Amino acid sequence: MALPLLPATMRIEHRLIVALDVTDGGRAKSIAHAVVDRVDALKVSWPLVLAVGRGIVKDLAPLAYVLCDFKVADIPNTSRLVVEQAVAAGASGVICHGFAGEDSVRACVEGAGRADVFVVTELSHPGGQEYTAKFAEEFARIAVRAGAAGIIAPATRPDRVRTLRAIVGTKRILSPGVGAQGGRAADAIAAGADAVIVGRSIIESRDPGDAAERIAGEIRRHPAT
C-alpha cells in the first residue's frame, strides 16, 4: 500500500541521483543531507538496508524521493510482495529486473501502486554485455507495455542509451555507471538519459556535497541534445 504523502513521480531538476552505497546509517544520512539540494533522488540498495534495516528508507523519505534499488527479479507473487514492502517502508520508486519477464514486471507495477517502477535493461558493468545487453531492447519494451515509469540504462554505453530512448519514448531513463565505472554524466544525458545515478564518485569524496555539485555542474554545462 503506497503512503499517501510520498511523491507520485520523480521530479527531474538536477538530473542527478546519488547511490547511498554505504553500510553505516549515520553516514548515509549525513551524505543525504550534504547532497539533497543537488540531487533528484536518494538511491538505497541492499548493502544499506541489510546493514541498518528498512527504517532507513522511512528516515530518508522526508528529505527526498527515495528510490529502492532492490533489483526485484522473482515470480510475480513474490516480486509484488517485495515491491509492496519497499513502498510501505517509504520508497517512492523501486527498481526491478526486466529479465524476470513481463508478468513479473507487471506484478511490480501493480504492487507499487502510485509509486514508480524502473526496469533494468542492460547492466552497466562489462558482464552486462554477456547476457542483459542481448535482450535489453526487449526489456525496454516490457517496461513500456507493463506501465513502468522508466528504465535503467548504462551510462558506460551512451550509444545503448540512445537506442533504448527510441524504444521508451517519454518514459524516464536513469543511467548508472558514471565516474567509478568509467562513464561520463554529460555523455549519458546527451544520449537521452533523464538523470545519471552516481555512487562512489560522490560518497567516497571527502566533500560529497561538492562532488555532487561538480557533476550537476557538468550536466548543466552540457544540456541534453
Q: Annotated catalytic sites, by residue?
A: 71
Task: Write down the least CB distance from residue 74 to ligand 3DU, Å.
Answer: 17
Q: Report the distance separating Cα 144 and Cα 169, nearest Å.
A: 9
Binding mask 134-173 for ligand 3DU (x = CB under 6 A): ------------------x-x-------------------
Name the phi and psi angles at 77, rounded to 5. Answer: -60, -45
Task: Write down the least CB distance from residue 124 to ligand 3DU, Å.
Answer: 4
Binding mask 166-205 for ligand 3DU (x = CB under 6 A): ----------xx-xxx---------------xxxxx----
Place of cell 569524496: 205
Q: Report the distance separating Cα 209 and Cα 149, nearest Å.
A: 28
Residue nearest to ligand 3DU (CB): 199
The answer to whether 76 contacts ligand 3DU (rule: CB under 6 A) is: no
Strand pairing class (41-45; 172-176):
unpaired
The answer to whether 45 contacts ligand 3DU (rule: CB under 6 A) is: yes
**Of the two residues 3 and 180, which places its CB atom closer to ligand 3DU in the complex?**
180
Which parts of the chain are beta strand (E)?
16-19, 41-45, 66-72, 93-97, 116-120, 150-152, 172-176, 195-198
How far is residue 139 from each of residues 78, 87, 145, 150, 177, measured CA to CA in Å?
19, 23, 10, 11, 19
Give contact residues for ligand 3DU (rule: CB under 6 A): 19, 21, 45, 69, 120, 123-124, 152, 154, 176-177, 179-181, 197-201
